[in-house]
Chain A
């Protein structure tokens, strides 16, 4: 279970970042008073345009960032005060977080297994199961740098699942993958959900959110503008489909801003 309460994250901007964002302000409110709850056995999707604050929110959940205000708890543990406990219970996957290219999937699997305090037998059993599922047994001894992008992605998913986490966080799960690998990944997310895990993802792809997510939270400019199942959102906005609904919300939000 993930509980986000009034999460606000403010970045301090240096000169370079200010230039990038074309702003004169010295801070950036990337997450603005977000409150949401996600439960085991569901796929929760954060949907929003570029720069909406999806990655920021997920990083706060994964203990990589500390909230400026508000709090986040995972499986009942506070992400700031009990960050090690939180990390024991979740895995966080993105395109930016990668495996060391000099090592083999097998070595890294064992390495992270040990960091999670698992014994050799458990690690070995998990490895058999996951490597077979992801079909990486054939190249488990090759170095990561020798693998193709898809293989790398599979290997890093397998490695991050070594400790059988209750919460799976995935920032843009299908970004940069071909249809086949992307399908593999979405299948896995569905499988994890059916096992009773909590899956939370971020995306800006409407079809992905429609097909995959049990509940969707729409984030625009750091604020959660609405939340619910697909049909709930469509009903609320009178949208024909999610894309339509999204644009209505987007316009609505920007009218309020002005």
Chain B
């Protein structure tokens, strides 16, 4: 198990958001966290990264308690891509280079630069490598954020709606890259998503959240229209089209 989450609870000031969250994730698997707006998907990701401190519960990454680790040690194990990336007057190269920060002492090494270059090539960002990220489009900026997390070389990738600003081609491309990284580089990924069809194509496990807790934790074969209807309040049917499951609202 790369990730074990046990009984995590979280509240913003007085607002209870998450209760009794528990699930596990194996190495080289992708988990999709699904659920309606405001249910607490982003909050859960931030708890896993200790950006937010849960009120109770434990989170183990590779058998180590995240809540007892230093922030820098967490950063060496987990790469986090927020839902919204903020533009800054840094070049895309510099922004991705930041991913090497948890691993450097005083300054970057030539290896760091080469690793960033490799990541840029992997994500086909060559054309924007030396452009300032406050001049990039929303989708380009999102790809830079994902590139940074990959350059961070983590054991676990946390991605908050990684495809929300991307066009159809880029959605598939980025998710393919994430899947490649997960399969080949002994990484696991947790991502929140709204597009169920994309989630079904790329994720191995699914966590459906409802009312701040887990409604269902299932693998691909066990997703039923009932679960989706209960979680989103929309009646659906799931059809198989050329080996791909497709959700269709009815």
To the question of whether A and B form a pair in one complex, the answer is: no
Q: Interface on A for B, CB 8 Å cutoff?
A: none
